[in-house]
Each structure stands twice: as C-alpha cells, then as structure tokens.
Structure 1
C-alpha cells in the first residue's frame, strides 16, 4: 500500500514539474518581435520611454544621468552629455526600434534605426557609451581618438551604478521567472 502511494505521489509530482517547465518554455517562446516607431522620450543615454513602457538600447552601456567623467578642472557631466546626444540624434527624425527580449527590470531590449543609421553605434563612436559586445569597432575608434569618456579617467557605468548603490536590489532568479511568466510586475 505504501509503495503504491509513493509511486502515485512521485508520478503526480513529476507530471506537475514537467507541466510547469512546459509552461515556462511556452511563455519564453511566445515572445514576439515588437516593432515600434517614434517619437520616443529619451530618459538617459541608453533608455527610451513610450506610453507602453521603457526601452533599453542593446549592445552599449551609457553613463548614468548623474555620472561625471574626467578629473580636476576637466570634470564634465558625461551622463547628461550622452542623453543630450541621443536626444539630438532622435529629434525630428524617423525612428524605428524593434526587440523581443526584456531585461530584469522589464524594459524591452531594442535595436533602433534613425534614417537608416544606428544611434547606439553613434553614441559609442562618439565616446558617450561603452560597448557591451556589439559595438567593439566603434569603441576602439573612440578610444584611439580619445573621444568623449575616453579623453580622461572615468568609471564604467556598471561600476558607477554599483558604487552609487543603484544595483543594490537585484531581482532573484525566481523573481525573473515570475516576471517572464507574467505573474508579477517588473522591479523598477
């Protein structure tokens, strides 16, 4: 009798676990490419906003809005400069963005095109963002030319966020799964 009960219990548990994994797989596959056209509000050097939420440009990391670069008399507001450059790049132009994945904060990860050009590549090329793998050639050119953040000392944006405490509440892997399944809202 005990053996039969354990066998039934194990079978039900296995079925429930497989069903849960299947639901996760379906939800992850259901992510469709989202395409949208501007205008967009520029939040900072790598984040845009629409009525439906925030968009995060992929392939780069721009200085945070309150971040400064340089030293001594050559300190400048590199975070503000990145946002201003992105605003100027997008202003009064045909902007198209597309993406399918979201980051841990619920922002849609997008690549954008402005009149056929990539604004993220332009930011990296002008030394107003670092490459996170996609724009290595543009970063090398900015470094070589000592343009923007490469003209003096600076903290990488991720290091600055960590030091400033902006990354103190990183969602757990369980929170990320719950968000992807639509069971809870994203952490701001």
Structure 2
C-alpha cells in the first residue's frame, strides 16, 4: 500500500464489523425505530445502565446477578456485585453513547454502548464479568473465549451461568 502500512486481517475484520454494526443500526421508519442516547449513566447491575430516564440493557451479554455468588478455591465471593462494580468503574465520570433498535419484555432499550471509543458490552465479556448471551447473539463469543483462556473475572473459579441462576432463583 502507498502509505507503507499493511492492512492486517485483524484490521480488516474490525472494519467489516464496524460497517456491519453501522448497517444493523441504520434501520429507520421501515423497521424497528432506532434509538441513540448519550449521557452519564447510573449502573444498575453488570449489564444494565440508566441514562436520563432510559433504562438500557447491554445487547448480547449476560452478567451475574447482583445477589449471585461464585466460587474460587472453594470460597464463595460476590461475583454479581463485582461485575456491577466493574461496569461502574468503566463508566465512572464518562459520557456513554448507546445505540439500540429494540426493547426487551421489561421495556429496556437493548443497546450496544460505547465510552472513550470502547465497546462496553464487549469489554465486560472480555474482562470476564459477563458472558456472551448466546440466546440473542454470538457477537461476543471470541471475547468470552479470551476471558476463559486467561481466567479473567468469573472464569477464575466456578460459577452458574446467569440465565441458569435466574431460573433456579426466581422469587
């Protein structure tokens, strides 16, 4: 290439992924309505934030529930609280930009959110504080594999997948 820089496979995949994400969120009047929202969020749990009055569920991920515990070396620890604290630290004092085009059964906007040029959804999975929510998306499987291989977050011990924990612990 004329600039002396080689287009790597990784860079190409990122560009294609960005284009696909942009196309996915460019739905207009013909389909689901697009919602873009920006602001300083309040963190509800490891996969839910609130910006203004809008409750937002991070698309394609599922974090341990607030009351959920995990095991490390046979010791119980509050992994749900730690997942929440991690997301809180990621967004502390920052503006978050979210793009969504659907709502869940609780009325939450389902969105991909970014801060400081980073995809929060992917970062929560890559750091091991959320799982790829396969029921709805396979977008974050590679990030999950990276977290598992490197024993990050909940992968450093034993845990129940959040969707299974909710099913077993319904109130």
TM-score range, shorter chain: 0.7 to 0.9
| Structure 1 residue 59, shift from structure 2 partner | 1.1
CA contact (8 A) 1:60 1:134 kept: no
Q: Identify the match of residue 138 of structure 1 among 117, 121, 143.
A: 143
| Structure 1 residue 31, shift from structure 2 partner | 3.3
Partner of 2:83: 82
CA contact (8 A) 1:63 1:82 kept: yes
Higher helix share: 1
CA-atom RMSD, angstroms?
A: 1.7
| Structure 1 residue 99, shift from structure 2 partner | 0.4
CA contact (8 A) 1:44 1:83 kept: yes
| Structure 1 residue 148, shift from structure 2 partner | 1.4
Higher strand share: 2
Partner of 2:66: 65
Over 3 Å counting, the alpha-carbon distance change for 1:149 and 1:40 in structure 2 is same
Partner of 1:35: 36
| 3-state SS in 1 of match to 2:71 | coil
Partner of 1:94: 95
| Structure 1 residue 53, shift from structure 2 partner | 3.2
Q: Give unmatched runs, 5+ long, in structure 2.
A: 1-28
Deviating beyond 6 angstroms after TM superposition, the runs of 4 or more aligned structure 1 residues are none
CA contact (8 A) 1:42 1:83 kept: yes
Q: Give unmatched runs, 5+ long, in structure 1.
A: 1-27, 167-188
| 3-state SS in 2 of match to 1:100 | strand
CA contact (8 A) 1:55 1:108 kept: yes
Normalising by structure 2, report the TM-score: 0.76
CA contact (8 A) 1:127 1:147 kept: yes
